[in-house]
């Protein structure tokens, strides 16, 4: 699902590409182009299955070579990258919408609210509900 019109800018995801000045390598290298295509795909399809096999197929690379090239170019594993973007999206949705945690978990590509909650807590240090409550308290005190 694309988030156009919702305030979530999927182009923000490209800043994770590893380079001295955080720019995409535009040398024309076929592998770099394939990884760039996957990075764009991830940002636009965070609510879908983003398994290594699927991403490797999009890049037209073997699973092993894709994972290795992705880590070298982006600076993190594909799974870590997807999780990072999903957390960013979840924080955005928790902050600026009234969607339930279950709706947000599905919008962020998780089939289970408990899996989403565990991932969010591991990444942020609190549950999605605690995060939202903290934002509400913070806004009330301002």
CB 95 within 8 A of CB 133: no
Which band of pLDDT confidence, cut at 50, 70 and 90, is reported for residue 141? confident
What separation, in Å, do the N-terminal and C-terminal C-alpha atoms of the chain show?
Answer: 34
Q: What's the pLDDT score for residue 142?
A: 64
- Which structure tokens are listed for 138? 């913070």
75: left (phi over 0), alpha (psi -120 to 50) or beta: left
- 27/51: higher pLDDT: 51
C-alpha span between 90 and 106 (Å, rounded): 10
Question: Is the pLDDT assigned to residue 10 strictly greater than 70?
Answer: no
* pLDDT at site 140: 75
Strand, helix or coil at 17? coil
pLDDT for 26: 52
> Using CA atoms, how far apart are residues 38 and 60, in angstroms rounded to an integer?
10
The 10s digit of each residue's pLDDT in 99-121 is 999 999 999 999 999 999 999 99
**Mean confidence (pLDDT) of the chain:** 84
31-59 confidence digits (pLDDT tens): 999 999 999 999 999 999 999 999 999 99
């Amino acid at each position: 699902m694309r988030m156009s019109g919702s305030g979530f800018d999927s182009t923000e995801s490209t800043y994770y590409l590893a380079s001295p000045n955080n720019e995409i390598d535009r040398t024309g290298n076929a592998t770099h182009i394939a990884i760039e295509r996957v990075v764009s795909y991830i940002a636009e399809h965070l609510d879908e299955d983003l398994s290594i096999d699927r991403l490797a197929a999009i890049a037209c690379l073997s699973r092993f070579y894709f994972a290795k090239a992705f880590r070298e170019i982006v600076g993190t594993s594909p799974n870590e990258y997807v999780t990072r973007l999903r957390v960013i999206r979840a924080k955005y949705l928790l902050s600026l919408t009234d969607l339930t945690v279950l709706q947000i978990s599905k919008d962020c590509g998780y089939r289970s609210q408990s899996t989403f909650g565990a991932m969010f807590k591991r990444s942020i240090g609190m549950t999605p509900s605690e995060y939202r409550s903290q934002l509400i308290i913070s806004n009330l005190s301002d």
